[in-house]
Amino acid sequence: MRGRAKPPAAPLPQRDGIDPVRVRLPEDPDGVWGCVRDHLQERFAGAVGVRRVDTMLAEGLFVGADGGAVRGDEPYTAGRYLWFHRDFAPEEPVPFPVGVVYRDEHLVIADKPHFLATTPRGRHITETAVARLRRELDLPELQPAHRLDRLTAGLVLFVVRPGERGAYQTLFRDRLVRKEYEAVAPYDPGVALPRTVRSRIVKERGVIAAREEPGEANSESRVELLEHRGGFGRYRLLPATGRTHQLRVHMNALGLPLVHDPVYPVVEPEQDRDDYTRPMQLLARVLEFTDPVTGGPHRFESGLRLTAWPDR
């Protein structure tokens, strides 16, 4: 069976570092969509709104593969591709820069600040690391090979050439990247360290906090104490797996919740989670791997620091 043909290239440029939305018109076995407008109104009634669809059609904001504006009264053709740009809600700028630790023709290793999402999601679209870097470095095809939690700072690997993205993603999938994190959390002499923590972590869609439950372990983290003073410790965290919120969940389970973590052990009100003066004290400090494209060894270290442990 022959697979579906590759979609044509987008005829619209990025806007604010964000790609246009691509729509493929599906089959219409019941013949209910007599024209393009009928389908778009049904498809985007919730996300965009019927009235906004009509306005966008009138203003020529839906385009076809040739870049020409699509009229709403054009006959419906299954399999046709259309593109348009979403309306972005205003976003509060995250007041910290995205550092670049390393850059070559294949990679960009970025130092993502606290509070900045890696990729567009939910209410964070243009204020994301990938959108910022595309704009600032003039690399419109830049893509992340993995993600870092919005509240976590540190190293993220971005791929310059889309055709090479799979090779770098495979490094993370196959656990061929050594990741080292640093954290500041309470010090408890009764917690024997170093130790390896294994547990089953479950994260439900729509629930902000992940939880541990009985069953076969699906997560593993090594926790090491580097130093302590004043009732706090500086820890090295070495995750062997990559479950959502894994390090935060494991530290909390040890009775050592991260300083300024707005979710563990207690979920703070949403309006209190973006206090820029209280960044969560977790930093992706080291990425180490063999480059799957060039074969060369790489070791990168973040230039950021955790503010709760200023003197080093």
pLDDT beyond 90 at 5: no
Residue 205 counted as domain residue: yes
> What is the chain's length?
312
pLDDT digits (tens, 9 = 90+) for 28-54: 998 999 999 999 999 998 888 899 999
Domain CATH for 64? 3.10.290
If asked whether residues 71 and 176 sit together in one domain, one would say no
Domain end point (choices 57, 84, 111)? 84
Q: How many distinct structural domains can be found in the chain?
A: 2
Domain CATH for 220? 3.30.2350.10
If asked whether residues 75 and 116 sit together in one domain, one would say no
Confidence of residue 311 (pLDDT cuts 50, 70, 90): low
If asked whether residues 110 and 51 sit together in one domain, one would say no
| Displacement of CA 35 from its chain's centroid (Å) | 37
If asked whether residues 127 and 39 sit together in one domain, one would say no
Other C-beta atoms lying within 10 Å of the C-beta of residue 196? 11
Residue 266 counted as domain residue: yes
Of the candidates 194, 208, 198, which has an alpha carbon nearest to the alpha carbon of residue 253? 198
If asked whether residues 126 and 75 sit together in one domain, one would say no
Residue 156 counted as domain residue: yes
If asked whether residues 45 and 114 sit together in one domain, one would say no
If asked whether residues 130 and 58 sit together in one domain, one would say no
How far is the C-alpha of 84 from the C-alpha of 111, rounded, in Å?
A: 31
pLDDT beyond 50 at 1: no
Q: Which domain holds residue 65?
A: 21-84
Residue 88 has what pLDDT? Answer: 87
Confidence of residue 304 (pLDDT cuts 50, 70, 90): very high
Residue 6 counted as domain residue: no
Alpha helices (H) along the chain: 36-43, 50-58, 129-137, 165-173, 246-253
If asked whether residues 277 and 201 sit together in one domain, one would say yes
If asked whether residues 118 and 177 sit together in one domain, one would say yes
If asked whether residues 110 and 138 sit together in one domain, one would say yes
Residue 89 counted as domain residue: no
Domain end point (choices 84, 110, 129)? 84
pLDDT beyond 70 at 76: yes
Domain end point (choices 84, 114, 132)? 84
Residue 312 has what pLDDT? Answer: 53
Which position has the higher pLDDT, 271 or 81? 81
Residue 248 counted as domain residue: yes
Residue 141 counted as domain residue: yes
pTM exceeds 0.85, yes or no:
yes
Residue 13 counted as domain residue: no
Please give the backbone phi and psi of residue 135, each rounded to the nearest 5 degrees, phi first: -70, -50
What is the mean predicted confidence (pLDDT) over 108-135? 95
If asked whether residues 136 and 269 sit together in one domain, one would say yes
If asked whether residues 221 and 148 sit together in one domain, one would say yes
Of the candidates 95, 176, 98, which has an alpha carbon nearest to the alpha carbon of residue 135? 98
Which position has the higher pLDDT, 310 or 290? 290
